[in-house]
């Protein structure tokens, strides 16, 4: 087995701690870090440059390191001053994150595709949490999994299955790179010219807030037609997911639903405490409303982390990305059957976030006049999304009976908003008003069935 | 008459800029209140100054003018108000002297009901022209063909009491369709084309080509027989009139229109209709998808062919090619006044369509001039003329060209009451505010900007024949695309011609990061000002765009690297 110089192995714990995709808050205890596997993926003909792959365990987690090796003194412009990407120097060479080096990235493509794919240009996409994405010739995107899980990676598994089921609104899978234990990377068609749903929604909102028009239908950048199409695609995705993975038994769905309801009491209490005041003294209407749902509809494998940032508008309509589920949750939870309305609710929450996010670009003094616009935009696009969703043939069979849909949606919105409150409290306190606003609305709107 | 004024350049239309002229509305050369051919000749110096390459004349044939001259009552004669054959010859010759070509509208599908052919055909069932039109005892045949002018026509059949039969018409009932199944008709129409090409015209814009033939059980559009006839016409043109152009009007989706290029053996050019409303929609929605969608579904065209693209023309803003949902959207946006609706469209000129926003007008022209195809300008749009929605039918966009602040907009010396239509006199678009004289004197006017753009465009054949590739930008309000031509084949420079266009469709300033790795090391030079921008590096290329702003960058090797 090839080996890295001793002194480098010692640097790995600190290096891990500096990476975006490392899940812990601080660098792992060196005693818990172990190089499980080390492979020399490539060596240049002249022997001076190498590409290494290391599978490293750090406590219960595994990580994939891709390290480039170049002779000391060779310039490293591709690092663009990103010191945290450098592991260190040893034996007259330096070692660094190979995904930043376009030569190494191209080598990686060849290796990952078993020689089937090559490219002239490679670039790394920025701002990602648990993976590194490389784009080749604006044609192919390779998602390198950094944090590894034993078994199938849900994104690879679900995307491939959806394509098999004839669902066209995903990026076509091209490369699946794995070893005996882990999915290591996933290559798909790069959606050139695509825009995240979030960016489109934000464009629409900026237009509305900046225009003289007082209604979202009349503003130029109306998003409703997109929202409607997105609703359709969401329903088609659910039909395909259900056909591939099948529904959980009704009893399992019922118990999952009641677990959700049972959790609300204590969670709301905790949320009231977080908000620092006595909130929502009476949730009985809400409990009544949820209690009236006799059966919550089919439960099956869903997207699990559905929001405007996970959908891309392309020239040929919407594409759904990233079926990994919420990365913070354990794998078995992410793949557990759930109501498709959980995805629906999550997207509706995303509309709310977008409307409020753009508000933050304006001075607080303007909020009073803009808040009704934000609410109108959200309501308008919620309606369009739901219309598109419920209009797809066959989706009704998977949903609860007609009168209960909005209650189940509200329950999952409540679930999501409570999660958001907790998250924002911990990470972005200035955003706390957004979930609080949502909670207010869900709880006080409980008496009406929209 | 072969023109001596052009070097042989058979594919001139691929890089040409067309200028559409309503003969009656351009300039009145004889003071009778109606524009004429001599009037156009008198204004050729202006058109040469502006820098257009080819004039497209709306129909100038003898006609009762119930449909703007598209109801021809004699194919061999010029409408006397417009002049005579000598005027036409002079116009063509004078244009050619200035390096400008001339094409004219020709209606192949139908005639006026006043045409002697029809008068004869309708007189009884046995006359020599009895079979020149499509007659039937009933009105049930070809029931799968849609009615195009739904506002005025109930059926494609109209009963003629004289002959006691129904005749077929795809447009107005006063425009009976010719019967191309009759070889005499088919031959005679070829003779008509030859006659006008002999006069010196550089080609035709063929009106309503999809409807020449009828067959039961079809929608009577785009039939194989129609294509076969076009191939016959093209063969004739290639053999006897090389370098002349056939431009088809077929208001269909691009994947259907492309059939009119045949294998490069039918029409040289076809209009690309759907891209036009989508340019307006993209600006209104502040996102590029309406445009990239339609360009994405536009098929490749055969070698030697070209699209004709336009922002506005003499007809309505064509909405047949957008989906119902999008049509509702366009209507709401641009036609809040119901009088503005015309058939399935909106009768507005460019400037009022964009609320007279100069930035939007410039942006839309920048798109038009840099999209794949040959741009067609509509007379008056280059100075920002308005429209008169209170005029009937489609006359609102056919008011006299505004030449100066003088009487009758400098269009005619006739008495005001004698004018075919009153010129615009409103405070915003009226001729005292908007006219050629003022525009030409004012170096920062729209018309000067237009002239400059056309100059730049002429230096870059890539705009006509280069490939088109959308550059991926995250910001949905930004549309970026690369036009490239491996070899520009001009006298002075044979190197590659590569132009990057970046457009901001939003009324807010926008940033854009362009993945330009493939051009790493090259230098973008802004084409209007020739200012070199920073070298393209490995990282995404960052540009900021003013509201409705755009850049055209020539992509060149850095100085000193070229040997």
Going by pLDDT thresholds of 50, 70 and 90, the confidence category of residue A444 is confident
A chain contacts of residue B470, beta-carbon cutoff 8 Å? 192-193, 315
CATH at residue B523 = 2.60.40.1180
Which residues on adjacent β-strands are paired with residue B523?
Answer: B556
Model ipTM over 0.90: no
- A199 shares contact with chain B (CB less than 8 Å): yes
Domain-terminating residue out of B457, B485, B507: B457
Whether residue B287 sits in one domain with residue B356: yes
Whether residue B477 sits in one domain with residue B406: no
Q: In chain B, which residue's Cα lies nearest the Cα of A101? A: B538
Tokens 């489609």 found at: B394
CB-closest option in A102, A196, A220 to B284: A220
Q: How far is A118 from chain B (nearest CA, A)?
A: 15
Q: Is residue B61 part of a domain?
A: yes
In this prediction, residues B218-234 reach a mean pLDDT of: 95
State the pTM of this model. 0.85
Whether residue B376 sits in one domain with residue B249: yes
- Residue-wise pLDDT for A317-367, tens only, equals 899 999 988 877 788 888 899 999 999 999 999 999 999 999 988 888 888
pLDDT of residue B561: 66
B chain contacts of residue A362, beta-carbon cutoff 8 Å? none
> How high is the mean pLDDT of chain A?
89
Who contacts A340 (Cβ-Cβ below 8 Å, separation ≥6)? Answer: A238, A241, A242, A297, A298, A300, A302, A398, A399
Q: Is residue B161 part of a domain?
A: no
Provide the number of structural domains found in chain B: 2
Does the annotation count B81 as an active-site position? no
> How high is the mean pLDDT of chain B?
91
pLDDT of residue A8: 84
Q: Where are the alpha helices (DSSP H) in B492-534?
A: none
Taking every pair of Cα atoms in chain A, the longest distance, rounded to a whole number of angstroms, is 74
CATH architecture of A195-444: Alpha-Beta Complex (3.90)
Domain-terminating residue out of B431, B457, B483: B457
Q: Among A55-69, A160-174, A276-290, B82-96, where is mean pLDDT lowest?
A: A276-290
CATH number, span A1-190 = 3.30.200.20
Tokens of B285: 């929605």
pLDDT of residue A6: 79
- Residue-wise pLDDT for B49-73, tens only, equals 999 999 999 999 999 999 889 999 9
Whether residue B523 sits in one domain with residue B434: no
Whether residue B82 sits in one domain with residue B49: yes
pLDDT of residue B46: 98
Give the structural domain span for B530. 466-556
Contact A315 B508 (CB under 8 A): no
Tokens of B126: 């046995």
3-class secondary structure per residue, A259-308: HHHHHHHHHHHHHHHHHCCCCCCCCHHHHHHHHCCCCCCCCECCCCCCCH
Q: Containing H/E element for A314? A: strand A311-314
Does the annotation count B362 as an active-site position? no
Going by pLDDT thresholds of 50, 70 and 90, the confidence category of residue B34 is very high
Q: Is residue B119 part of a domain?
A: no
Contact A138 B515 (CB under 8 A): yes
Count CB atoms within 10 A of the CB of residue B358: 15
CB-closest option in A120, A192, A315 to B289: A315
- Residue-wise pLDDT for B289-334, tens only, equals 889 988 988 999 999 999 999 998 876 555 555 565 666 556 555 5
Q: Is residue B184 part of a domain?
A: no
Whether residue B502 sits in one domain with residue B390: no
Q: How far is A267 from chain B (nearest CA, A)?
A: 38
Whether residue B374 sits in one domain with residue B426: yes
Residue A156 pLDDT greater than 90, yes or no: yes
Residue A46 pLDDT greater than 80, yes or no: yes
E strands present in B232-295: 245-248, 269-271
Q: In chain A, which residue's Cα lies nearest the Cα of B518? A: A121
- Residue-wise pLDDT for A364-407, tens only, equals 888 888 999 999 999 999 999 999 999 999 999 999 998 899 99
Domain-terminating residue out of B424, B457, B490: B457
Q: Is residue B358 part of a domain?
A: yes
Going by pLDDT thresholds of 50, 70 and 90, the confidence category of residue A77 is confident
pLDDT of residue A275: 72
Q: How far is B298 from chain A (nearest CA, A)?
A: 12
CA distance B27 to B115: 28
CB-closest option in B286, B292, B333 to A193: B292
Whether residue B390 sits in one domain with residue B242: yes
CATH 3.30.200.20 in chain A, residue ranges: 1-190
B chain contacts of residue A207, beta-carbon cutoff 8 Å? 286, 506-508
CATH 3.90.1200.10 in chain A, residue ranges: 195-444
CATH at residue B255 = 3.20.20.80
Contact B538 A138 (CB under 8 A): no
- Which of B284, B331, B517 has the highest number of chain A CBs within 10 A, making it the mutation to test binding with A? B517
Residue A26 pLDDT greater than 90, yes or no: no
Q: Is residue B94 part of a domain?
A: yes
Q: Is residue B500 part of a domain?
A: yes
pLDDT of residue B319: 56
Whether residue B477 sits in one domain with residue B449: no
- A121 shares contact with chain B (CB less than 8 Å): yes
B chain contacts of residue A80, beta-carbon cutoff 8 Å? 539
Question: B516-531: b or e for each residue (b if 16 or more CB lie within 10 Å)?
Answer: bbebeebbbbebeeee
Strands B165-168 and B306-310: unpaired
CB-closest option in B289, B477, B507 to A313: B289
B chain contacts of residue A135, beta-carbon cutoff 8 Å? 515
| Catalytic-role residue among B67, B202, B249, B382 | B249
| Catalytic-role residue among B71, B87, B207, B381 | B207
Whether residue B479 sits in one domain with residue B435: no
- Residue-wise pLDDT for B466-513, tens only, equals 999 999 898 999 999 999 998 766 556 667 899 999 999 999 999 999
Q: Is residue B148 part of a domain?
A: no
Q: How far is B287 from chain A (nearest CA, A)?
A: 8
Residue B500 has phi, psi (to 5 degrees) of -100, 125
CB-closest option in B508, B517, B539 to A206: B508
């Amino acid at each position: 087995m090839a080996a890295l110089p001793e002194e480098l192995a010692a640097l790995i714990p600190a290096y891990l701690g500096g990476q975006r995709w490392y899940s812990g808050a601080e660098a792992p205890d060196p005693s818990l870090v172990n190089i499980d596997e080390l492979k020399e993926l490539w060596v240049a003909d002249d022997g001076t440059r190498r590409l290494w792959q290391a599978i490293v365990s750090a406590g219960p987690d595994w990580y994939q390191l891709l390290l480039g090796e170049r002779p000391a003194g060779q310039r490293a412009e591709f690092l663009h001053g990103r010191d945290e990407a450098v592991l260190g120097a040893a034996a007259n060479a330096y070692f660094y994150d190979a995904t930043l080096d376009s030569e190494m990235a191209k080598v990686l493509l060849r290796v990952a595709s078993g020689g089937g794919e090559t490219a002239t240009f490679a670039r790394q996409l920025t701002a990602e949490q648990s993976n590194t994405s490389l784009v080749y010739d604006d044609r192919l995107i390779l998602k390198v999994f950094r944090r590894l899980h034993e078994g199938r990676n849900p994104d690879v598994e679900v995307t491939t299955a959806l394509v098999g089921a004839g669902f066209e609104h995903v990026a076509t899978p091209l490369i699946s790179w794995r070893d005996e234990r882990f999915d290591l990377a996933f290559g798909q068609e790069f959606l050139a010219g695509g825009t995240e749903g979030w960016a489109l929604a934000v464009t629409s909102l900026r237009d509305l807030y900046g225009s003289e028009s007082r209604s979202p239908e009349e503003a130029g950048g109306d998003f409703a037609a997109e929202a409607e199409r997105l609703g359709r695609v969401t329903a088609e995705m659910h039909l395909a997911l259900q056909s591939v993975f099948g529904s959980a038994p009704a009893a399992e769905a019922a118990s999952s639903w009641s677990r959700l309801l049972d959790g609300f009491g204590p969670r709301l209490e905790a949320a009231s405490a977080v908000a620092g005041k006595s909130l929502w003294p009476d949730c009985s209407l809400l409990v009544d409303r949820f209690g009236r749902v006799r059966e919550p509809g089919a439960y099956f494998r869903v997207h699990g982390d559905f929001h405007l940032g996970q959908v891309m508008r392309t020239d040929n309509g919407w594409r759904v990305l990233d079926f990994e589920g919420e990365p913070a949750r354990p794998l078995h939870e992410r793949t557990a059957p759930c109501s498709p309305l959980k995805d629906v609710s999550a997207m509706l929450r995303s509309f709310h976030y977008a409307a409020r996010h753009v508000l933050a670009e304006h001075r607080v003094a303007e909020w009073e006049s803009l808040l009704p616009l934000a609410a109108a935009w959200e309501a308008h696009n919620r309606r369009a999304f739901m219309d598109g969703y419920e209009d797809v043939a066959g989706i009704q069979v998977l949903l609860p009976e007609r009168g209960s849909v909005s209650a189940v949606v509200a329950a999952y919105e409540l679930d999501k908003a409570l999660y958001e409150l907790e998250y924002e409290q911990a990470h972005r306190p200035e955003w706390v008003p957004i979930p609080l606003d949502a909670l207010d609305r869900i709880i006080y709107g409980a008496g009406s069935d929209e | 008459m072969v023109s001596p004024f052009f070097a042989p350049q058979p594919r001139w239309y691929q890089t040409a800029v067309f200028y559409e002229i309503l003969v009656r509305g351009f300039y009145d050369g004889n003071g009778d209140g109606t524009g004429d051919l001599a009037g156009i000749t008198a204004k050729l110096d202006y058109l040469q100054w502006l820098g257009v390459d080819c004039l497209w004349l709306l129909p100038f044939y003898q006609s009762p003018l119930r449909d703007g001259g598209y109801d021809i009552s004699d194919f061999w004669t010029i409408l006397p108000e417009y002049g005579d054959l000598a005027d036409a010859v002079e116009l063509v010759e004078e244009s050619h002297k200035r390096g400008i070509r001339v094409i004219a509208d020709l209606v192949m599908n139908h005639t006026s009901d006043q045409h002697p052919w029809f008068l004869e055909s309708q007189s009884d069932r046995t006359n020599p022209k009895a079979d020149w039109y499509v007659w039937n005892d009933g009105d049930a045949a070809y029931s799968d063909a849609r009615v195009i002018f739904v506002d005025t026509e109930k059926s494609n059949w109209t009963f003629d009491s004289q002959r006691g039969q129904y005749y077929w018409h795809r447009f107005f009932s006063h425009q009976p369709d010719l019967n191309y199944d009759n070889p005499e008709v088919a031959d005679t129409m070829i003779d008509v084309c030859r006659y006008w090409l002999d006069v010196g015209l550089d080609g035709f814009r063929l009106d309503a080509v999809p409807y020449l033939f009828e067959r039961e059980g079809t929608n009577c559009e785009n039939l194989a027989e129609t294509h076969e006839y076009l191939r016959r016409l093209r063969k004739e043109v290639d053999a006897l009139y090389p370098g002349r152009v056939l431009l088809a009007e077929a208001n269909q989706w691009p994947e259907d229109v492309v059939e009119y290029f045949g294998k490069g053996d039918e029409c040289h050019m076809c209009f690309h209709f759907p891209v036009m409303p989508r340019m307006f929609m993209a600006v209104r929605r502040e996102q590029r998808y309406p445009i990239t969608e339609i360009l994405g579904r536009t098929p490749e065209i055969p070698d030697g062919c070209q699209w004709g693209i336009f922002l506005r023309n003499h007809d309505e803003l064509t909405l047949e090619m957008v989906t119902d949902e999008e049509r509702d959207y366009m209507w709401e946006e641009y036609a809040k006044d119901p009088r503005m609706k015309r058939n399935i469209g909106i009768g507005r000129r460019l400037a009022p369509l964009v609320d007279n926003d100069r930035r939007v007008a410039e942006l839309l022209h920048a798109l038009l001039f840099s999209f794949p195809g040959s741009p067609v300008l509509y007379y008056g749009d280059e100075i920002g003329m308005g429209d008169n929605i209170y005029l009937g039918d489609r006359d609102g966009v056919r008011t006299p060209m505004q030449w100066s602040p003088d009487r009758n907009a400098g269009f005619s010396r006739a008495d005001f009451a004698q004018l075919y239509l009153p010129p615009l006199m409103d405070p915003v678009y009226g001729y005292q505010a908007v006219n050629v004289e003022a525009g030409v004197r004012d170096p920062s006017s729209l018309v000067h900007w237009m002239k400059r753009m056309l100059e730049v465009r002429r230096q870059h054949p890539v705009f006509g024949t280069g490939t088109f590739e959308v550059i991926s930008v995250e910001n949905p309000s930004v549309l970026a695309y690369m036009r490239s031509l491996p070899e520009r084949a001009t006298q002075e420079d044979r190197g590659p011609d590569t132009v990057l266009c970046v457009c901001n469709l939003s009324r807010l300033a926008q940033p854009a990061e362009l993945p330009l790795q493939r051009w790493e090391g090259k230098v973008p030079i802004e084409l209007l000002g020739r200012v070199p921008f920073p070298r393209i590096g490995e990282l995404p290329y960052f540009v900021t765009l003013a509201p409705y702003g755009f850049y055209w960058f020539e992509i060149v090797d850095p100085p000193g690297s070229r040997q």
